[in-house]
């Protein structure tokens, strides 16, 4: 059996999940990993029997790879994608695509010109409960959308500064914007408001809210808050005619679908692993078994554009008509 030679840049939290998934697959060989903190790269390399690099560009230059996973913080995007494209190496990249639109647009243009296979970590789309929600909404489109990312502030050093993470809206709530696009369709207008960062805790807002008008006529709001000591609610709630659909994420492998109709309530809780599912899908694209990933770079760009517009609208207290050519 041919084993695909893969590398991973970034060896933090989410890289660990991808590497764990990839290490369990017979047709994958984890060849090398890289991290800006060399010690971290070495530890991870030892765990997976791979070579360590102190720099992602060195990994891309020095290794012969079938694909690379880019699991770095939002501020680190751009040079890594450019190097992967230069060397013709397909890449799976974690969301968000960048802290802003400029870097993501430049990468998207180069990906389109190169024809390279890409995949992006909007993992909710790989859940069976999301497919079930799609089926339920097929004949009864959503009319009201309410989304939430109400959580603690992540402990990683880069998160609380907008220049490093983008913001909570761009870094976390982007999953909710993606799911809303997937289940309800494109957003036509977005207005917003935000509450400033807690004192001495960077400049990512304490809370933010986006008011959305969808092309379908549905309306809604998606809100973010980072001032709790726990994850309270990460969810998308949809109201259609005589139907309520609520999808909640409690952890990467802990999701719930709650469906309410006039006949009663049905709750399904699942431990399916969407990280494994998206990695398997991307490998199958590389092996020619699938034409493309569910969320290739250009599709992720549309979600990123929506999250960036929501962030900009909140920052300036303005309303934006999409697509947002000023971004
Ligand atoms: N799909 C999901 O649900 C999900 C969950 C968690 C994180 N993420 C995303 O994954 C990305 C990383 O998040 P994380 O939680 O793993 O962060 P993390 O801080 O735990 O890990 C990031 C790692 O990247 C390294 N790094 C930074 N710049 C680098 C560079 N230029 N080259 C090589 N290594 C570099 C850091 O040293 C760190 O070890 C973020 O964009 C985040 O939004 C996605």
Q: What is the pLDDT of residues 31-57, one digit of tens each?
A: 999 999 999 999 999 999 999 999 999
157 ligand 1 Cβ < 6 A: no
Q: Judge whether 201 and 259 are in contact, CB under 8 Å.
A: no
316 ligand 1 Cβ < 6 A: no
Nearest to 140 by CA among 239, 262, 279: 239
**What mean pLDDT is predicted for residues 177-197?**
98
71 ligand 1 Cβ < 6 A: yes
Give 57-96 pLDDT, tens digit per residue.
999 999 999 999 999 999 999 999 999 999 999 999 999 9
Give 219-255 pLDDT, tens digit per residue.
999 999 999 999 999 999 999 999 999 999 999 999 9
pTM of the model: 0.98
- Ligand 1 centroid – CA 71 distance (Å): 5
Token digits for 307?
């999250």
What pLDDT is stored for residue 175 in this prediction? 98
Strands (E), the chain: 4-9, 28-34, 51-53, 67-70, 91-93, 118-120, 144-150, 187-195, 207-214, 219-225, 233-240, 243-251, 254-261, 264-270, 319-321
Residue keyed to tokens 């962030």: 311
Residue keyed to tokens 């397909």: 90
Sign for the CA dihedral angle at 73, 286, 115, 50 comes to positive
Token digits for 291?
């034409």
- Ligand 1 centroid – CA 232 distance (Å): 23
- Ligand 1 centroid – CA 10 distance (Å): 6
DSSP-assigned states of every residue in 131-179: HHHHHHHHSS--SEEEEEEE-PPP-STTTT-HHHH--HHHHTTHHHHHH
- Ligand 1 centroid – CA 14 distance (Å): 6
Instruction: Tell me the CATH class for 4-123+276-294.
Output: alpha beta
**What mean pLDDT is predicted for residues 17-24?**
98
72 ligand 1 Cβ < 6 A: yes
74 ligand 1 Cβ < 6 A: yes
**What mean pLDDT is predicted for residues 144-168?**
98
Residue keyed to tokens 């959305």: 212
13 ligand 1 Cβ < 6 A: yes
Where does the pLDDT of residue 122 fall: very low under 50, low under 70, confident under 90, or very high at 90 and above?
A: very high
CATH number of 125-272+305-321: 3.30.360.10
Q: Where are the domains of the chain?
A: 4-123+276-294, 125-272+305-321
| Beta-carbon-side half-sphere exposure of residue 232 (alpha carbons within 13 Å) | 14
- Ligand 1 centroid – CA 192 distance (Å): 27
311 ligand 1 Cβ < 6 A: no
| Beta-carbon-side half-sphere exposure of residue 257 (alpha carbons within 13 Å) | 19
Q: What is the crossing angle of helices 297-316 and 101-114, to 10°?
A: 170
């Amino acid at each position: 059996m041919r084993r695909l030679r893969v590398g991973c840049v970034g060896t933090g939290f989410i890289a660990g999940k991808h590497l764990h998934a990839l290490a369990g697959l017979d047709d994958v060989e984890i060849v090398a990993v890289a991290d800006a903190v060399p010690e971290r790269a070495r530890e991870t390399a030892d765990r997976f029997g791979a070579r360590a690099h102190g720099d992602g560009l060195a990994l891309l230059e020095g290794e012969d790879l079938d694909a690379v996973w880019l699991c770095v913080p939002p501020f680190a995007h751009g040079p890594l994608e450019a190097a992967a494209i230069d060397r013709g190496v397909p890449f799976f990249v974690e969301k968000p695509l960048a802290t802003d639109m400029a870097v993501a647009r430049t990468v998207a243009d180069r990906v389109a010109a190169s024809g390279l296979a890409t995949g992006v970590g909007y993992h909710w789309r790989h859940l069976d409960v999301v497919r079930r929600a799609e089926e339920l909404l097929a004949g009864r489109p959503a009319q009201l959308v309410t989304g939430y990312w109400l959580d603690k502030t992540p402990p990683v050093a880069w998160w609380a500064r907008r220049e490093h993470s983008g913001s909570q809206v761009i870094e976390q709530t982007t999953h909710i914007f993606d799911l809303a696009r997937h289940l309800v369709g494109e957003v036509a207008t977005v207005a917003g408001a935000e509450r400033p960062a807690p004192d001495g805790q960077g400049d990512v807002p304490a809370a933010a809210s986006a008011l959305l008008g969808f092309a379908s006529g549905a309306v809604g709001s998606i809100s973010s808050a980072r001032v709790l000591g726990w994850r309270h609610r990460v969810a998308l709630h949809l109201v259609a005619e005589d139907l309520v659909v609520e999808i909640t994420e409690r952890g990467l492998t802990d999701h719930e679908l709650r469906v309410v109709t006039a006949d009663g309530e049905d709750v399904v809780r699942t431990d399916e692993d969407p990280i494994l599912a998206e990695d398997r899908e991307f490998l199958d694209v590389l092996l020619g078994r699938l034409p493309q990933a569910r969320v290739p770079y250009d599709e992720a760009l549309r979600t990123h554009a929506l999250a960036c517009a929501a962030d900009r609208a909140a920052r300036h207290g303005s309303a934006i008509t999409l697509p947002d050519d000023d971004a």
